[in-house]
Amino acid sequence: MKLTLLSLVAAAALCACESTHDSDQKSKPKPTGDQTATKTTTKTGEKAGEVTHAEARLSPASGSQVTGTVMFTQVPAGMEVRAHIEHLTPGKHGFHIHEKGDCSAPDASSAGGHFNPDDHKHGDRTAAERHEGDLGNLVANDKGVAEVTFVDTALSFTGKHSILGRAVIVHTDPDDLKSQPVGNAGGRVACGVIEQR
């Protein structure tokens, strides 16, 4: 059966070639297809050097016990942010990226203000106007654990909007998402520098 089919296909192919010389010319772009494949490989190679994942490991500040990890992963829709924070007081806590990756001060004041490369007003993460670093609130359960995952479209690993080398800060109080310039979120209970992992 196989042989018969092959013979038929071969015969058909021969017929096609013999009957139309035009179709031969039309099939010329084939080598271009091969070149495209080569280019794609090169692009993939370049992408290997790009940052696609970073993490901030948070340490306590202002005498708190708060610790945790915030992972940033580039995904097609934007930046996936995945946070797991422990030893918080139950309820809402302001959650931001601050300008300087410096957690050395005991109260984490060394991290500076909210990361705001476009000189916007403070707001909610989903608001039309916000600091790039405005990530809203974490909500800790009755065990003091806050877990959240979302995809944000403002965050980047490149250019002046890059969050690499900046700091994640968790606050004592809720961010009211409107007070200027920092949402009245109170002191800083945890701080961690965003680093490529």
Interface residues toward Zn ion, by CB under 5 A: 114, 122, 131, 134
Q: Which of residues 121-160 bind Cu ion (CB under 5 A)?
A: none
Between 24 and 107, CB nearer to Zn ion? 107
Residue 92 one-letter amino acid:
K
Least distance to Zn ion from the beta carbon of 179, Å? 10
Between 86 and 102, CB nearer to Zn ion? 102
**CA distances to 46, 59, 189 from 63, in Å:** 44, 11, 7
Between 93 and 131, CB nearer to Zn ion? 131
Using rule CB under 5 A, residue 169 touches Cu ion:
yes
162 close to 51: Cβ distance less than 8 angstroms: no
50 close to 71: Cβ distance less than 8 angstroms: no
Between 56 and 169, CB nearer to Cu ion? 169
Query: What string marks each residue from 4 to 43 as x (binds Cu ion by CB under 5 A) or -?
Result: ----------------------------------------
Least distance to Zn ion from the beta carbon of 136, Å? 10
Q: How many residues bind Cu ion (CB under 5 A)?
A: 2
For residue 60, cis peptide bond before it (omega within 30 degrees of 0): no
Q: Pick from Zn ion, Cu ion, none: which does 169 bind, CB < 5 to 8 A by kind?
A: Cu ion
Using rule CB under 5 A, residue 96 touches Cu ion:
yes
Between 74 and 173, CB nearer to Cu ion? 173
Which residues make Cβ contacts (< 8 Å) with residue 192, sequence separation at least 6? 56, 57, 58, 59, 68, 69, 70, 103, 167, 168
Least distance to Zn ion from the beta carbon of 89, Å? 21
Q: Pick from Zn ion, Cu ion, none: which does 92 bind, CB < 5 to 8 A by kind?
A: none
> How far is 72 from 172, CA to CA, in rounded Å?
23
Backbone angles phi, psi at 3, to 5 degrees: -60, -45
Binding site for Cu ion (CB under 5 A): 96, 169
